[in-house]
A and B are shown apart, each in its own frame.
Chain A
Amino acid sequence: AQSVTQLGSHVSVSEGALVLLRCNYSSSVPPYLFWYVQYPNQGLQLLLKYTTGATLVKGINGFEAEFKKSETSFHLTKPSAHMSDAAEYFCAVSEVTGGGNKLTFGTGTQLKVEL
């Protein structure tokens, strides 16, 4: 079974500072990787996804992530944090099952942005 580890359940940055949220995965096959964002009491919204091809993936709201196979990582970054980035972020890996496309999620990282 595939799994995802998100290091740091809470991350705090100053407004304008670099955002780095870490994600490591385990997979026996080439993975398909996703980052989702969740604002309080809402559903999840896709930020970006890696399937094949270019390892640097750009997403919405200025976020990007780099797939590094040798490190089994898919860390999420944003050069300059904004107050509106405060939310919970989830990394996920896609797994083939007999029933279709199944996502396995990490436990999430709560991002706090301070003035």
Chain B
Amino acid sequence: DGGITQSPKYLFRKEGQNVTLSCEQNLNHDAMYWYRQDPGQGLRLIYYSQIVNDFQKGDIAEGYSVSREKKESFPLTVTSAQKNPTAFYLCASSNLAGDLYNEQFFGPGTRLTVL
């Protein structure tokens, strides 16, 4: 089955620690995205990538880093510089193919809690 997988589903971290969230897709999509979701705030874009070895900051990139070494993988690192990292993190992908309106497909999410 094609889709997006995120792991782990739940993640606990101590303050001051970096943590990496995994996102893998087997849809052969060009673009991948990371969003952060907080209650009452909708989804906010952290980083996105259109092609391998290239990515752009979204609206709330501070305290986060990403890499795109393979087309199917787009891991997100939450660093100790992120002031309030407790949130639900969603990964998505889309097939650009020159179309503006290609839908984004979402993974099941990772809930990160800082203890």
Contacts and interface: CB of A to CB of B under 8 A. Distances in A.
Interface of A: 9, 32, 34, 36, 41-46, 49, 51, 90, 94, 96-103, 105-108
B46 to A, nearest CB: 12
B31 A100 contact: yes
- Please report whether the interface of chain A is mostly helix, strand, loop or mixed according to DSSP: strand
A46 B58 CA distance: 22
25 contacts: A9-B40, A41-B88, A42-B109, A43-B90, A43-B106, A43-B108, A43-B109, A44-B43, A44-B92, A46-B103, A90-B43, A96-B100, A97-B56, A99-B31, A99-B50, A99-B56, A100-B31, A100-B48, A101-B31, A101-B94, A101-B100, A101-B104, A105-B44, A107-B40, A108-B42
Given A41-B111, A44-B90, A99 B48 contact: yes
Q: Which of A36, A94, A98 has the most chain B CB atoms inside 10 A of its CB?
A: A94
Contacts of B106: 36, 43-45
A67 to B, nearest CB: 12
Contacts of B102: 101
A49 B108 contact: no
B103 A100 contact: no
A90 B42 contact: yes
Interface residues of B, number: 33
Nearest to B32: A100
Contacts of B19: none
Contacts of A108: 40, 42
B42 A106 contact: yes
Given A46-B103, A49-B103, A107-B40, A101 B96 contact: yes
B52 interface: no
Q: Which 7 A-B pairs have the closest CB atoms?
A: A43-B106, A32-B101, A99-B56, A100-B50, A107-B42, A44-B106, A51-B101
Interface in B67-88: 88
A85 B44 CA distance: 24
Contacts of A32: 100-101
